[in-house]
Amino acid sequence: MEKKDALINWFKTNTKGYLLFSGGFDSSAVLGAAMQAKANIIPIWVNNGFNRAKADDMAQQAKSLGAPELKIINVTPGQVVVDNPEKRCYHCKSHILSLAPQDGLPLFDGTTASDLGNYRPGKQALDEYKVQSPLAELGITSWETKDIAIALGADPDFADHESCLATRINYNKLLTPERIKAIYKIENYLIKQTNDYHVRCRIDDEDHMRIELSKPESYALLADASVREKLFEMGGDVCLFVTIDVKRSRPNEYDKRIKY
């Protein structure tokens, strides 16, 4: 794997720093390569209440990739993030980066070449804090990071599992604890039933919750009335309607309306 080797070699000249670690394929590929290069890179995981994964599982993923430690930063999102504007990711990322170690060592992240043409307001914050993105620099795409991460020891199920739940709520709709909790419960319930890690439970407005699925067995599960009742039980307190999207899960459709 030429690109895996290129990534490992990159860390033979970038030997110290911190990695913004999410446990997904992208940052796992970066961490695994850094550990293979024997670079002194410390992974940092930010627990802001929007995570689908838990701290113990995140620590295990870092360990599987060879990291001797995982630094955890607990963050309470500010009101500007809770208000959920279109630039939410910028404000969230800026807050996170302001809490990163300020000892002069560089910060790295898992931005890939695939991310550069998409709506990524958090990229502005990365640029402002001079975060280095080795995957993007080397032209490595999100499709390629999956194979690299697995080859370097990442648990693929966990890498698929982790995701930011704040992205599920349509812009300018508040990121309330009740909404985040309902999304978390529904997604984890469906994952346990079908291993459909790409399930997305989205809140479009105050009345409508829309569940996106990606596996045939996930749709088949809905034939069971008790499952449908369970989904409404978990989502009915925050939305009047709990619906199933007929299209498979995909990136946030509302981003297509944003001019950038």
179 and 127 in a common domain: no
Q: Tell me: the pLDDT tens digits for 99-108?
A: 999 899 999 9
- Quote the tokens at residue 79: 């009101």
At residue 118, does pLDDT exceed 70?
Answer: yes
Residue 122 pLDDT class (50, 70, 90 cuts): confident
180 and 142 in a common domain: no
Q: What is the arithmetic mean of pLDDT over 107-121?
A: 88
What backbone phi and psi angles, to 5 degrees, belong to 242? -115, 110
Q: Mean pLDDT lowest for which of 51-55, 77-81, 225-229, 243-247?
A: 51-55
pLDDT, mean over the chain: 95
91 and 42 in a common domain: yes
What pLDDT sits at residue 182?
Answer: 98
At residue 211, does pLDDT exceed 80?
Answer: yes
192 and 133 in a common domain: no
153 and 30 in a common domain: yes
152 and 56 in a common domain: yes
Q: For the chain, how many structural domains are there in total? A: 2
Q: What is the arithmetic mean of pLDDT over 170-192?
A: 97
Structural domain that includes position 245: 165-257
- Quote the tokens at residue 123: 């990229």
At residue 162, does pLDDT exceed 90?
Answer: no
217 and 155 in a common domain: no
141 and 115 in a common domain: yes
169 and 44 in a common domain: no
At residue 181, does pLDDT exceed 70?
Answer: yes
142 and 26 in a common domain: yes
Please name which of 81, 54, 63, 76 lies closest in space to residue 188, comparing C-alpha atoms. Answer: 54
Predicted model pTM: 0.93
Please name which of 24, 41, 32, 62 lies closest in space to residue 152, comparing C-alpha atoms. Answer: 32
106 and 22 in a common domain: yes
Q: Is 170 exposed, middle or buried (0-12, 13-18, 19+ CB in 10 A)?
A: middle
171 and 100 in a common domain: no
Using CA atoms, how far apart are residues 150 and 29, in angstroms rounded to an integer? 8
Non-local CB neighbours of 167 within 8 Å, separated by 6+ positions = 252
Q: In angstroms, how far is the first alpha carbon of the chain from the final one? A: 35
**Domain termination residue (choose one: 100, 135, 159):** 159
What pLDDT sits at residue 260?
Answer: 58
CATH code where residue 223 lies: 3.30.300.90
Strand partners, 212: 200
Q: What is the arithmetic mean of pLDDT over 48-68?
A: 95
What pLDDT sits at residue 25?
Answer: 97
